[in-house]
Amino acid sequence: PPEAPAWFRDCYAKVSGEELGEEYDKLLREYVALEQGYGFAKGTVALKGRVERPKEVSDWVRDGRGRTKTVRQITNLPAYAANVRAWWTGLQPSWREKWDEGVEEEATDEWGTLASAGQNGVLSVVAALYWWGIA
């Protein structure tokens, strides 16, 4: 979006460079809507879950979310996928801990830590999924 600040445009470019199919495109549209809904707030609170985020995500955040131009190389895809799944599951609010994969459900309560916008929020999950997709 033209009204998006530089941090968003830069980060969005890092997670949308490769075509990953309609499901990922839908995720990107929903992600943009989330950030727009929060007024593209820069964000200072990181996602906090019950499981530590994958090392690749921590490294990306530490390196300025792509400012170093380093492309994340996933060397062990099965281990990375397991780490991302565990992290994602650990980010879920308690009311959503058990659900059928692939089945969308209506929110029944607050989203907790997943209601984190800005460069320290859901962007990290989007980036993790992007690297998984291009691996």
Integer angstrom CA distances of residue 115 from 40, 59, 80, 112, 131: 13, 22, 24, 6, 22
Where does the pLDDT of residue 101 fall: very low under 50, low under 70, confident under 90, or very high at 90 and above?
A: low
Check residue 64 and give its pLDDT.
Answer: 73
Check residue 21 and give its pLDDT.
Answer: 97
Check residue 120 and give its pLDDT.
Answer: 86
Q: What is the DSSP letter of 54?
A: P
Integer angstrom CA distances of residue 102 from 36, 52, 106: 25, 24, 13
| pLDDT tens readout for residues 73-96 | 899 999 999 999 999 988 888 776
Residue in 32, 25, 30, 31 with CA at minimum distance from that of residue 1: 32
Q: Percentage of the chain surpassing pLDDT 70?
A: 81
Residues 11-50: b if buried by 16+ CB within 10 A, e if exposed: bbebbbeeebeeebeebbeebbebbeebebeebeebbebe
Q: Where are the alpha helices (DSSP H) in the chain?
A: 6-14, 22-37, 55-62, 77-91, 123-134
| pLDDT, mean over the chain | 84
Check residue 128 and give its pLDDT.
Answer: 95
**What integer is the mean pLDDT of 114-130?**
89
